[in-house]
Structures are given as C-alpha cells and as structure tokens.
Structure 1
Amino acid sequence: MRAAVDQNLADPQAAPIQEELTESDQLAFATALEQAAIDGDSEAWHKLIDWERMLETVVAGEKSPSLDKARADFRTGFLATQSKPSKDRLAEQVVSYCEDGGSFKFLRLGRVDNQPIAVFRILLPNQGGVNYHQYFLKRSDDGQVRAEDIYVFLSAERMTETLRVFWRTVAAEVSKTFIDRLFKPADPLVKSIRSIAEMRAMIKDGQYEKAIEIYETLPEKVQNEKIFNLIRMQAAIQVSDEAYASSIDDYRQRFPGDAALDFLLIDGYFFKKDYEKMLECIDRTSEHVGGDAWLLSMRAQALAYLERFEQAREVANDAIRLEPDLQDAYWRAITVSLMAKDFDETVKLLNMVEQDLGLELADLTEIPDYAEFVDSPQYKTWMESRE
C-alpha cells in the first residue's frame, strides 16, 4: 500500500532535519508497522519503536549522582516492562484492536517540526471510537528506521511527554534534600501517582464509577494533570452520555488551548446536539490529521442532523470513494439516507454493504431507525427482489 506524502504538515520555521530519510524508507516503515498489526505480530510491531531513544528523551535533564542512579533504574524498569508481551504493552493493545474487529491503518506521510512522520488511524472494536497516531521517524543506531516518539491524538501529547509525568515524580523525590524530606510535604502528584494504576485497574474490571470516584478524591492540583483527566474520560464514556459530556467540559476548562480539544469535543458537541460546533471540530481535526474518510463520514452525519441532506449525501459518498472498505462510511451514509427519507439511496447502500463489503444484514424490522424505511414501497420491492 502507498499513500501520498503530505507536505502541508511541514513547518518552514523549524530546525533542519539532522538525518534525512527517503520517502521509500518512510513508506517501508509504515507498511511494516501496519502489516505487523494486521498479522497479529506484536513482537514485530514492538521492534519498530525505538524505546531506548524514547527513554533518553524522557529522562533528560539535570545531572547528579542520585538522579543518575534513579535515571538508570527508571530506564531499566520501563524497558523491562516493554521487553515481553503484556496487556499493558502498546504493541499488544494495537494488535488486540485488530483481532477484536477494529483496525490500524496507515494514512499518509508528512512532517512535523521538520521531522518525518507516519500518520495512522486506529478504529477501536465494537464501535468504540477512533484515535490517530503520528510516529516520528528516525534511523536507529543499527540502521533501521524506527519511531522515536508517538504523538497520540486522544492525549494531545507525545508519548515521551506522558512518560515524563512519571519520571518527574521520581526525580522530584530523589532531588529532595534531607531537610526537605523532614519538613516539606510530598508533592501531591507524587502521592497520587499510584492512583493512575488504580483507576486503570478499575476500568479493566468494568468498575467505571469506582474509577471516577478515585479521580474525585484527588487533590485539585492532581485533577488538573492531563493524564488523570483522560483516564477519567475513559471511565465516564462507559457510565453515561452525561458523565462523558461533563468530563469533556472539565477538560475544556482546564486545557482551553489544547491541541486535542477539537478531537475530544466532537463527541461532546454531539451529545449536546450542537452540530454546527461539531462540524467545526471535525474540520479542524481533519486539518490536523491531514484528512481522513472516517472524519468525512462523521461530517456527513453532522450535516444530516442539521438537515443539510444534499450536502451530507455528497460528503458521505466522498468518504466511501476515498476508502471503499471503511464500514463506518457506509453505515453513516445509510443513516443520512434514512434521515433524508431517500429510501432509493438506502436500498442502493444496503446492497453495497452486502455485495461490496460481504456483510450479512440484520433483520431491519427489529431496528427502530429503519421503521419508516420498512414501511416504504422501496423496502417491499427490495425484499421481493431478494426472494
């Protein structure tokens, strides 16, 4: 598979690239990473990330004997957790998404801060949503092209920044003098760092309300940390639409200029039925990603809610043309046709779902959204043609 290089992501003011990679180098990396996820080969996927170089960025900073020892221990501990398969290892998470019905798809190449990147879309299984990753590429010491960092759209920061939160807590404690330890209270973040693991454990066990309760007991300073807000969102989306919308509102207040805000607020404005603002967020996210069929299909759905049906139909068809095997694009196009009561279009799209995607349709008479279609002459004619 091959995607066009998106030069629009370049920043002409950024520092020059120290070590240039060819387009062929970058595409080879992207193809290998995508194929490893599709094949369920978590070890091959894992080896395409330069964890050593990532850790160098995470623990960079002030030098001292005590900090150097803590730095070495932190590196050793982190790399040990990444050295063997685990549910917490990123490679296993990506592979599991594909195995459970989601997908990991290479979208395009580009540049950020004048460094080559590969952009991927992650569709979570069971309509669990979408995420985007940007992999920052560099040639490792052994000559292989690997990712030295990963920008995660759902957290709006690089993985090195997320890991640095943990290193910061270690470094803060190690740097304390004897007097500090006696008389200065511990940093609230240091005291609360275990809460991250506790909240994630609650989410894994399906105890979503408990995870939110842990968040609500944290000091205000800790609640303002991005990582805690994002874990809270993961729990809130499983509790109720209201809880999820509330978590997004709090995120917006705490991080008003955050690059992920538009991406997160797509859901928030959908829940609030503010479809104009939802459209604005989709468009800005699409610009940030570099364009994507999944976002086009979301745009079509928002336009349909605004009863701009002709425009919605055009956008939905664009999404299908852009990515003919993207199931969500077809289902959202069908939603547009149902809302517009364009049942001839509904029949056409349902046939495409069966014939082009090879999917078996459920009994539409049991699905409330199809009630008017089921009562239509088009449905009767369609069913007769299938006998």
Structure 2
Amino acid sequence: MNCNTATKYIFLSFLFFAIACSEPEKPVTKEEAAAVATSLANAFAHRNASRFNELLDLDAFKKRIMSHAGNKLAPATVEGVMKSMRSGEFGLQIVRALGNKGTYELVKQYEKDNHQHLVFRLYNEQLNYHDLEIIKKGNQVKIADIFVYITGENLSSTLAESLQSMTEQEEAVKEVGKRDVKKVQLIKKYINANDYERASQVFETLPAVLKEQKLIKMIYVQIASGLGNDKYLAALNKFQQEYPDAPNMYLLMVDAYFLKKDFPAALKCINRLDSLINKDPFLDYYRALICKESDDNVNKLVYLKRLHQNMPGFGSGTLELINTYVDDKQWDQAVPLTQQYRKSKNADTTTLKMLYLLNPDFKKKMKAADYN
C-alpha cells in the first residue's frame, strides 16, 4: 500500500476522534497516573492540546497497530501513519470538540493487567469517553493507547483495521486525494460550527471508498444528528444494522431510543453504559432527562438531587434541579439553590430570566429573599 495514501487516510481517522526497537514499558504508580490526570484536565480546561500530544507514545502505538493487524502490515505503511500522528492532530481535535463550553474531566482511575488507566469524559452537548492506558518508559510517563467509547475500540485497533481495509482496496484508494482529506476537514469544521447542512453537502461529494469506511459512516451519524429527527434516527438504525455487535452501541443508541420514545430502552442503554464505565455520576443527568420526557417526576428529582450532590459545579444539572423545584413550588429548595447558582462563574442568566418570566411567584420569592 502506498505510504502517502495510508498517511492521508489515517489523518481522516484523527478528524473523527472528537478521535525498530524501543525502550521497554514499565508499570506506572497510582500517584504518577494521578499526576498525569491532573495535568491533562488542567491543559484541556485551558484548551491546550500540547500536553496531551506530548504524552502520546508513538512507539507504543506503532507496536499495538502492528499487533492488531497480526503483523501483516508493511512497516513502511505504518511508519507513514506515524508521521501523521506526530502532527498533534488528535489533541487538537479534542480541543475543537470541546468548543467554548465543553468539559474534559476525569471519571475514574483504575488498574488492569498491571497498567494504570484513566477514564475521561468528553462532553459538549454530545457525550464520549476516552480510556487512556498509561505506561512508563525510562522516567517518562506516557499514553500507550486510547479506548474511544464512541468507536467501541482502542485507537490502535481502529488504525490497524483502517490500514488493512485500505490495503485490500488499494486500487480504489488511489482515488482518494488531498482534496478529499480537505473535504473531511471541512466536514468536521462545519459539524463543530453546527452547520450540518453544509457538512452533509460536502459529505455527499466524498468518494465511495471513503463512505464505506466505518469511521466515515460514524461521521455521517454525527452529521445526521443535526438534520432533523427522522434523518438522525434513520442513520442510527442503519449503523446498528451494519454493526449490530459493536460495543459502542449503548452510547449511540441512547438517542435512537429517545427519539422513538422508547424510554425504558434508553434508560437501559444508560445503565449498561454506566456498568461498562463503572461508574459515572454524570449519567444521572441523562437518566433525569429520560424521566422528564416520560413524566416520571419522582425519579427525575431523585436523579437530579444525586447529580447535584456529586457534581455541584455542573450548571445544566443545577438548572434542571431548580426548574424541578419551581414546578413543584418547593420554594424552600428553589430559592437558596438559585441564589447559590447565580454566584457561579458560568451561570446562565438568560435561562434564569426566562424562569422568572414564566413563573411570577418564583420571581417574587427571589426578590423577597434578595431583599432580606
């Protein structure tokens, strides 16, 4: 397979995520892994991708890619891919996916097969998780691989599968040029800007060999999410039919069941996803939204109160809890919580004003409390 072609295609993979001899790997202590977690969280909070990119161990990635491919890929082909990885595009894509309001937060740290792992949640209206495998080479702590929940597999496995697929279709791959790489870049730019119509228009101009790739199909699911419920549901159902056993279906199908108004199935997906992660308190937000749509007000309040207890800084969850208290006329709960929320740096004053407008009694209670 032509190395330049491989490099071009794998660059497209990074756009989604968001997606010789070397020093031996050594175990990492819990304290070292925790320090990495803190530095990554701080870096992404300031929208700085450099810390993430410098932690990526390209030699470890290369070994894992070759292993997933059964060592059947030509070393030169994989080396062509590594040149693209050195561009730092992975970290930049995470920053772009975060936008201005998104978060990249540590969910848990655990040990598996003598390796420390860090599970991060990426949330900006859409949800994804990254499970980082941490290793040590010499005195340097590095990221050896990343399990990306939205794809349901390790990044190294995704790259290996993509390279093998493109190798088998080498003649068709010759049709993929730099212009197509730029088109996929443009699609991601439009998605991040919520311009899904333009993203769809550019997607339709991609060559068939790209549209047949799993990663590109998942990009279309992202596009369809902004084209209306009917197209989004159709895209989700089609992806499920093509990849029924994909381990990421719990995450993807939450929206599908929600749109179908099959709320028990949506809740089951959330619970199974939570079991895989073991555990993320943030998922109570999704549970509460499902209960809200199914008019299960009792459990909605339970989930929102637990969410606020575990994640008091999550503004959207706090607003939902305030709104629930207002609907139930629980002023002794709504008023102090709102006073506390208004002090937060990212308080959504527009939504609060709308709450006051729709609930005059709430506005009076707040004025009285502020006066006192």
Same fold (TM over 0.5): yes
What SS is found at the alignment partner of 1:257? coil
Q: 1:302 aligns with which of 279, 283, 290?
A: 290
22-31 vs 312-321, greater mean Cα deviation: 22-31
The code of the aligned residue for 2:64 comes to: T
Alignment-derived partner of residue 217 in structure 2: 229
Contact 2:110 2:118 in 1 (8 A): yes
Contact 2:335 2:365 in 1 (8 A): no
Pick closer, same or farther for the CA change 1:338–1:283 going to 2, 3 Å: farther
The code of the aligned residue for 1:277 comes to: A
Query: Once the 2 structures are TM-superposed, how far is the Cα of residue 143 of structure 1 from its aligned partner?
Result: 2.6
The code of the aligned residue for 1:204 comes to: K
What SS is found at the alignment partner of 1:137? strand
Distance 2:152 2:329 in 1: 39
User: Structure 2 unaligned runs (5+)?
Assistant: 1-24
**2:363 aligned with 1:379:** yes
Q: 5 Å matches for 1:260-279? A: 260-279=248-267
Alignment-derived partner of residue 73 in structure 1: 80
Distance 1:363 1:218 in 2: 40
User: Structure 1 unaligned runs (5+)?
Assistant: 1-17, 83-88, 175-185
Contact 1:33 1:48 in 2 (8 A): no
What SS is found at the alignment partner of 2:350? coil
Q: 2:50 aligns with which of 38, 43, 58?
A: 43
Alignment-derived partner of residue 128 in structure 2: 131
Q: 1:153 aligns with which of 124, 139, 149?
A: 149
Contact 2:233 2:259 in 1 (8 A): yes
What SS is found at the alignment partner of 2:132? strand
Contact 2:183 2:206 in 1 (8 A): no
Q: 1:201 aligns with which of 172, 180, 186?
A: 186
User: Structure 1 vs Structure 2: percent identity of aligned residues?
Assistant: 19
Distance 2:50 2:282 in 1: 28
**2:26 aligned with 1:30:** no
Aligned residues: 342
Distance 2:327 2:253 in 1: 23
Pick closer, same or farther for the CA change 1:114–1:355 going to 2, 3 Å: same
Query: Once the 2 structures are TM-superposed, how far is the Cα of residue 345 of structure 1 from its aligned partner?
Result: 4.2
Distance 2:303 2:105 in 1: 21
Q: 5 Å matches for 1:359-378? A: 359=347, 361-362=349-350, 364=352, 367=354, 374-375=359-360, 377-378=361-362
Distance 2:276 2:151 in 1: 14
The code of the aligned residue for 2:118 comes to: A
Q: 5 Å matches for 1:179-258? A: 186=171, 191=175, 198-205=183-190, 208-209=196-197, 211-212=199-200, 223=211, 225-258=213-246
Question: RMSD value over aligned CA atoms?
Answer: 3.3
Distance 1:166 1:190 in 2: 15
Contact 1:222 1:228 in 2 (8 A): yes
Distance 2:290 2:169 in 1: 49
Contact 1:298 1:332 in 2 (8 A): no
Alignment-derived partner of residue 11 in structure 2: none
